[in-house]
């Protein structure tokens, strides 16, 4: 049973910066569903994409796996077992629960859950890499290097799925979609106090980019085919494919 997110329902004197601790991990499934527009759709699409891109004898990476939602759907939708999923996160609280969740499902796909920094882990022989709302928590100075390493570790024809919260250069559009996201959270039962306190904690930790900046980085990394395939307000997902030749 999913625990209900009421972590910020009462005033907190010293909020500090956001961390993926035990308290967040306990309510994370409820938090993502109520906070991220289109989250279930994105997870479903990751499953569909994984079945298309996963190749026998290769590795699939879920970088910043949290509780393993993307890993679980890939375990269910990849139709052959001659590959391996490697799920990585640097939060001990998330990794502990991710291991528990993955061990409870029936799958023929070998799955390794790793507690590590995704900026240092080796990426090799990959047919698919997933960054599902992860890049926005990586320091700006490390983002291009991470994408370069992912590209180098992908086999020809391999793909990267990158889901993020976006910012927009057009102030009018940026404000509109920010407010629409605010209304989305209100409609899902969050109070203004909860929304404001969470925003305060995230503002120094979650640094968003425009879609154009993401595409520029992916191009610089070497990807030949890049496009936005899903967007709901200021959240969405891009696909980047390493050319087969």
Q: What is the pLDDT of residue 81?
A: 82
Domain range annotation of the chain:
39-167+206-242
Q: Give the annotated binding-site residues for S-adenosyl-L-methionine.
A: 39, 89-90, 117-118, 132
**Distances in whole angstroms, Cα of residue 153 to Cα of each of 36, 149, 157:** 29, 6, 12
The residues, any chain, with a CB within 8 Å of residue 19's CB and separated by 6 or more, are 91
What strands lie across the sheet with 58-63, from one edge to the other?
A: 111-115, 83-89, 58-63, 126-132, 154-165, 235-241, 225-232
Q: How far apart are alpha carbons 67 and 90 in whole angstroms?
A: 12
Per the prediction, the chain carries an average pLDDT of 97
Q: For residue 157, is pLDDT > 90?
A: yes
Q: What is the pLDDT of residue 62?
A: 98
Q: Express each pLDDT in 167-192 by its tens digit.
A: 999 999 999 999 999 999 999 999 99
- Please spell the DSSP secondary structure of 131-156, one letter per residue: EES-GGGS-HHHHHHHHHHHHHHEEE
Q: What is the pLDDT of residue 84?
A: 97
Average pLDDT over residues 107-112: 94
> Which CATH superfamily groups domain 39-167+206-242?
Vaccinia Virus protein VP39 (3.40.50.150)
Element (H, E) at 198: helix 192-202
* pTM (global) more than 0.95: yes
C-beta separation of 129 from 154 below 8 A: yes
Q: Express each pLDDT in 54-87 by its tens digit.
A: 999 999 999 999 999 999 999 999 988 899 999 9
Element (H, E) at 176: helix 171-187
Percent over 70 (pLDDT), the chain? 100
Percent over 90 (pLDDT), the chain? 96
Q: Express each pLDDT in 210-240 by its tens digit.
A: 999 999 999 999 999 999 999 999 999 999 9
Q: What is the pLDDT of residue 45?
A: 98
Q: Give the annotated binding-site residues.
A: 39, 89-90, 117-118, 132
Q: How far apart are alpha carbons 146 and 135 in whole angstroms?
A: 9
C-beta separation of 144 from 221 below 8 A: yes
Average pLDDT over residues 75-101: 96
C-beta separation of 112 from 138 below 8 A: no
Q: Express each pLDDT in 31-41 by its tens digit.
A: 999 999 999 99
Q: For residue 99, is pLDDT > 90?
A: yes
CA neighbor of 214 nearest in space, from 157, 135, 120? 135
Q: For residue 1, is pLDDT > 70?
A: no
Q: How far apart are alpha carbons 154 and 9 in whole angstroms?
A: 43
Tokens standing for residue 168:
């927009």
């Amino acid at each position: 049973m999913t625990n209900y997110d009421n972590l910020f329902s009462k005033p907190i004197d010293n909020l500090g910066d956001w961390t993926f601790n035990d308290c967040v991990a306990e309510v994370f499934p409820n938090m993502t569903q109520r906070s991220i527009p289109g989250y279930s759709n994105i997870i479903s699409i990751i499953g569909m994409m994984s079945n298309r891109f996963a190749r026998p004898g290769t590795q699939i990476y879920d970088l910043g796996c949290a509780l393993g939602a993307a890993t679980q759907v890939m375990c269910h939708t990849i139709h052959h077992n001659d590959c391996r999923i490697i799920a990585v996160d640097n939060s001990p609280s998330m990794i502990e629960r991710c291991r528990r969740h993955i061990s409870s499902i029936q799958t023929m796909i070998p799955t390794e859950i790793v507690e590590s920094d995704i900026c240092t882990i080796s990426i090799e022989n990959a047919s698919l890499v997933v960054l599902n709302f992860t890049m926005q928590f990586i320091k700006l100075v490390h983002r291009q290097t991470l994408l370069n390493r992912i590209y180098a570790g992908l086999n020809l024809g391999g793909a990267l799925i990158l889901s993020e919260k976006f910012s927009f250069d057009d102030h009018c559009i940026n404000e509109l979609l920010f407010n629409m996201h605010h209304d989305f959270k209100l409609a899902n039962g969050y109070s203004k106090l909860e929304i404001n306190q969470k925003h305060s904690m995230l503002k120094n930790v979650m640094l968003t980019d425009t879609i154009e900046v993401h595409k520029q980085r992916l191009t610089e990394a070497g990807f030949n085919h890049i496009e936005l395939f899903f967007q709901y307000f200021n959240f969405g997902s891009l696909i980047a494919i390493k050319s087969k030749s």
